[in-house]
């Protein structure tokens, strides 16, 4: 009998973060999104948050630092795009 691996809810949320990252990158590559759109930054923020949640079970300092960087940059990108109109940038 084959046993399936058991993944915690945190692992599954982390994997969802991975899926959001690669989907967002594919959207950018195929010009579904632009790197200037709010959706792009919201997806990056969501992905980083999900991966951070996943890291709470199997912590890795380097990975956590990368995700915190993505959260900070994404939040700054969202704020800039909300505060400044397109023609002001």
Task: Give the model's pLDDT for residue 38.
Answer: 95
Cβ neighbours around 51 below 10 Å, total: 23
In a domain, 2, yes or no: no
> Which domain does 48 fall in, by range?
9-84
Number of domains forming the structure of the chain = 1
Task: Output the pTM of the full model.
Answer: 0.88
Task: List, for residues 21-70, the tens digit of each pLDDT value.
Answer: 999 999 999 999 999 999 999 999 999 999 999 999 999 999 999 999 99
In angstroms, the CA 52 to CA 61 distance is: 10
In a domain, 3, yes or no: no
């Amino acid at each position: 009998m084959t046993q399936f691996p058991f993944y915690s809810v945190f692992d599954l949320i982390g994997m969802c973060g991975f899926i959001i990252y690669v989907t967002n990158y594919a959207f950018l590559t195929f010009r579904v999104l632009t790197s200037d759109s709010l959706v792009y930054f919201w997806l990056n923020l969501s992905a980083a948050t999900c991966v951070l949640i996943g890291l709470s079970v199997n912590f890795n300092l380097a990975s956590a630092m990368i995700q915190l960087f993505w959260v900070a940059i994404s939040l700054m990108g969202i704020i800039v795009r909300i505060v400044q109109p397109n023609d002001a940038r």
